[in-house]
Amino acid sequence: MNRVKLARYESGLSIEEAARLLNISAGYLSQIENGHRHVSSERANAIALVYGKAKEDIFLPTRYAIREVDLKI
């Protein structure tokens, strides 16, 4: 699981709720979560704000790629 998805889970938001708060489609957010889209610094800031996290905790600084975490769920 990557950190964007993990941060959303930890914030208690569904993908639809998070997408609505971010003013983007759930499909687009899913693409971000699955690493199919890179995001701008502004979008990374917005996602971090909605999830109550620091941008650096969710995204790598280069092109705001998603940080991966290794969780055994």
CA distance 52 to 9: 11
Statement: the pTM of the whole predicted model exceeds 0.85: no
pLDDT score for 33 = 92
Q: What does the domain layout of the chain look like in residue ranges?
A: 3-58
Interhelix angle 41-51/15-22, rounded to 10 degrees, is 130
Asked whether the CA dihedral 23, 64, 60, 69 is positive or negative, the reply is positive
Whether the pLDDT of residue 34 is over 70: the answer is: yes
pLDDT score for 40 = 87
CATH code of the domain occupying 3-58: 1.10.260.40
pLDDT score for 63 = 56
Q: Is 55 left (phi over 0), alpha (psi -120 to 50) or beta?
A: alpha
pLDDT score for 72 = 66
